[in-house]
Amino acid sequence: MPHDAKATRADPPAGAPNSAPDRREGPTREAGTPRRYTVRWFVSYMRAADTGTRTQVAAGIVLGVLLVAFIIVFFMRRFEAHELAVETALAAAAPAEVDVTTVKPAAPTSALVLPGETAAWYEATIYARVDGYVSNWSIDIGDHVTAGQVLAVIDTPDLDAQLAAARAELRTAEANVKVREAQANFAETTYARWRESPKGVVSEQETADKKAGYESAAAALVAAQADVNQAQGDVDKYMAFEEYKKVTAPFAGVITQRRIDIGNLVTAGSTAATTVLYRMTQNDPIRVFVNVPQNAAPSMKVGSPVDVVTSGTGARVFSGTITRTSDAVDPQSRTLKVEADIPNKDGALVPGLYVDATFHLRTKGVSEVPAAAIMFHSRGTEVAVVEGGHVQIRPVTIAEDNGTTVNLASGVLPGDQVVLNINSQIADGNEVDVVMVDGKPVAPNGKKKA
């Protein structure tokens, strides 16, 4: 048979012996009929193909799907990146949106509340002035006493013995004075007789001797009288110490401590080794000490009113005035120590209480802004003011910090608009878009929405 150029392994010549359709070609088709690649053909082909062929075809399909998915994702991401870049550029070019509030004048007076501590008007620690043993005490802790009232009595055997000895020495000195007086009188009369004797009866030597005896006797009398005075001084001293056997109150007040009991040995003095007998205070009026920050120190004027409240008195308000200040700022705490005197006739306030002291300060020429408008930098305290659609960073001076609001002494004026919680990326001179004024949205025409 002549060779057919169009015959292939898949298309054997017609009538060839033992010819059979190619299993890879799917269903048989007539020679010369064009091949049609359909899903049905592909399924039939895959059924007829061997395992290796199936694996290769599946891998090719998966690879194609992945390639298509990669291309799709790549272009989607490029599109999104482009959109983000466009939006970022537009946002960067647009003015920053800010919320502003209007600066208001501060109230004519403001209340500055600071912690304080009460202290007694007088406070005394009472020690023994003589050595001895406590023989009796009559006043206990919490008792109110008057000035000069006896608190306790000390038995002083040593002092009593010293007083008795001093009195004996005084009596001896007084007796010696009498002896010296007699001797001086005798020497004086003897010298007078010798001096008045006719000339030549007694020698001048004898007259000079009698004169010396008289002067010596007179000097001895003076010395004896000095001994009497010294002995009297010793007696007076010990008599004065005898008065200290009675421990008395130095002023009217209340006893806050009693550290003695009957039979206790007490030693005179006020060193760390000696025994404290009593502690007492006078609490009317009572002092209140407050450490005022240096920014409020110039407002602390003597005579200014002060209100004191303590939780221990049922929120009762005690009124007083500033009596004195330290007139110097403590370099450690940067505070001014202020004392206010509070009348306390009923004794409601006692020393050592924690109190809240309210000072009423004048705020003339001071502006008020929310605390959210304040910026703290290394260069100082500042606010951002919006003027003509642009930001102006201004330094300010804080007059008073009220917590949610701050009073400013300089830097802004009532009517200025300051930015709240300003973005750190906004710099001086940047253009901004105001979206909220005093908590109300702003319409595109610049007016507040209702």
pLDDT tens track for 258-267 = 999 999 999 9
Residue of 163, 151, 157 lying closest to 133 (CA atoms): 157
Is residue 265 one of the residues assigned to a domain? Answer: no
Is residue 221 one of the residues assigned to a domain? Answer: yes
pLDDT digits (tens, 9 = 90+) for 12-48: 444 444 444 444 444 455 555 555 556 666 667 666 7
Identify the burial level of 359 via C-beta atoms within 10 angstroms of its C-beta, where 0-12 means exposed, 13-18 middle and 19 or more buried. Answer: buried
Residue of 308, 302, 315 lying closest to 285 (CA atoms): 308
Is residue 354 one of the residues assigned to a domain? Answer: yes
Looking at residue 314, its amino acid is G
- Please check whether residues 376 and 355 belong to one and the same domain: no
Instruction: Give CA–CA dist 96/89, Å, rounded.
Output: 13
- Please check whether residues 184 and 230 belong to one and the same domain: yes
Whats the size of the chain, residue-wise? 450
Higher pLDDT: 422 or 339? It is 339
Q: How many domains does the chain have?
A: 3
Instruction: Give CA–CA dist 407/161, Å, rounded.
Output: 74
In the numeric block, the tokens 């659609």 are attached to 389
**Taking a C-beta distance cutoff of 8 angstroms, is the pair 448, 440 a contact?**
yes
pLDDT digits (tens, 9 = 90+) for 75-96: 888 888 878 877 776 665 567 7
Q: Would you call 199 helix, strand, or coil by DSSP?
A: strand
Full domain range(s) for residue 152: 122-248
In the numeric block, the tokens 């004191």 are attached to 308
Query: Tell me, what's the pLDDT at 20?
Result: 44
Return contacts of 27-34, CB within 8 angstroms, 24+ apart.
Answer: 31/7, 32/6
Mean pLDDT of 159-168: 91
- Please check whether residues 420 and 337 belong to one and the same domain: no
Mean pLDDT of 244-269: 93
Instruction: Give CA–CA dist 134/276, Å, rounded.
Output: 12
How high does pLDDT run on average in the chain? 82
pLDDT digits (tens, 9 = 90+) for 46-79: 667 777 776 877 788 888 888 888 888 888 888 8
Is residue 325 one of the residues assigned to a domain? Answer: yes
Domain boundary among 307, 332, 362: 362
Question: How large a percentage of the chain has pLDDT more than 70?
Answer: 84
Is residue 47 one of the residues assigned to a domain? Answer: no
